[in-house]
Amino acid sequence: MEARSQLRHRPPDSVLSIYHNYSKRLSLRPASRAAYNETMPFRRLPLFALVLCLACALTSSCVARRRLIPRAGNSKPLQSADLPTLLAAVRKQYDAIQNFSATVDMVPALGSTEKNHITEYKDVRAYIRFRKPSDFRLAGLTPFVHTTLFDMVSDGADFKLYIPSKGRFIVGRNAIDQPSPNKLENLRPQHFLDALVVQPVDPQTSKVILENFTDEDNAYYIVHEVRELPDGTLHLQRNIWFSRIDMSMARQMIFEDAGNILTDARYSEWHTYDNVPFPKHIEINRPRDEYAMVLDIVKMEINKGVAGDQFVLEQPEGTTLQTVGAPPAKGPAK
């Protein structure tokens, strides 16, 4: 049994013969040469194999793989800019617009992502009027019937809101001291104006920081506007995003003192209207007030003048007047 076990583990004759022949040849060599070859095994490699290994090590295709990063169909190198250039771009965009009249398709939505529910409504045809410094009007029509769904106007300090379906005429200040549980009462024309006409950064009252937010999925410059509060703490007031693909303004976020987002506006599909660039697609989200709007420009006229009577909104007869912060009147106004 022991002999059979040894036989089972015995190498084949061909292997033994090669081993004996190699040992015999090695024993005939001088001792110094055998020791040298044992300490330098690399010299036994053929020359062409050595050259091939070096060539592969020095060739990038052997050790690396090139991969393109697609960004909205753009394969060109990203553009670069510094902070003064970006601030000047915001100022230039603001100074270029004195007034405008726009016809838009609007999709209103109620709810918020924090409460995990958003209700979108059918497309609403709306009309927007703006005149510097802060005159603004937004009127929406009901789908199909095209009667007035809502009409709001603001002079920058005060606002008026008319809702025919409820027979209510709401007036008050643009500033919201205490948000109302009735989200309709938190609606302000100024919210839309701040999103549509981006204010330039005032270096006298704010500090600015530039962030380069670029990775495989994003390519933006973000200008952070910081304000110092009376107690010395710093408050992130706003940030403005620029796409590094074409250096267009892509997003604006406005914050309250507690750090919560007041307005999140996104801009895309920039077009030139009357020699002035303006985004054709605008998304405005007010998470704290739980409403949002998506605007698509249908027609736009810039700097062609808007008459003053376009910003006059009188209370219709038979409607109930309500002042924000006060209880609604019991009966309709005369």
> Which range in 36-50, 69-83, 115-129 is most confidently predicted, on average pLDDT?
69-83
How does pLDDT run across 245-271, given as a tens digit for each residue? Answer: 999 999 999 998 888 999 999 999 999
Confidence check: pLDDT of 45 > 60: no
- Please name which of 288, 289, 269, 290 lies closest in space to residue 280, comparing C-alpha atoms: 269
Give the per-residue pLDDT at 63: 65
Positive or negative torsion for Cα 181, 183, 189, 193? positive
Q: How confident is the model at residue 69 (pLDDT cuts 50, 70, 90)?
A: low
- Give, in order, the Cα–Cα distances in Å from 266 to each of 66, 131, 160, 300: 33, 22, 26, 18
Confidence check: pLDDT of 165 > 60: yes
User: What's the CATH superfamily of 83-323?
Assistant: Lipoprotein localisation LolA/LolB/LppX (2.50.20.10)
Confidence check: pLDDT of 38 > 90: no
Percentage of residues of the chain with pLDDT beyond 90? 51
Q: What count of other Cβ atoms lies within 10 Å of the Cβ of residue 159?
A: 22
Q: How confident is the model at residue 113 (pLDDT cuts 50, 70, 90)?
A: low
Give the per-residue pLDDT at 27: 52
- Comparison of pLDDT for 41 and 162, the residue scoring more: 162
Give the per-residue pLDDT at 36: 47
How would DSSP label each residue in 115-164? TTEEEE---EEEEEEEETTTEEEEEEE-TTT--EEEEEEE-SSEEEEEEG
Cis peptide before 84 (omega within 30 of 0): no
Residue 156 CA to residue 303 CA, distance in Å, equals 20
- Please name which of 120, 142, 158, 87 lies closest in space to residue 285, comparing C-alpha atoms: 120
- Domain borders along the chain are 11-63, 83-323
Confidence check: pLDDT of 43 > 60: no
- Comparison of pLDDT for 215 and 50, the residue scoring more: 215
Give the per-residue pLDDT at 162: 94
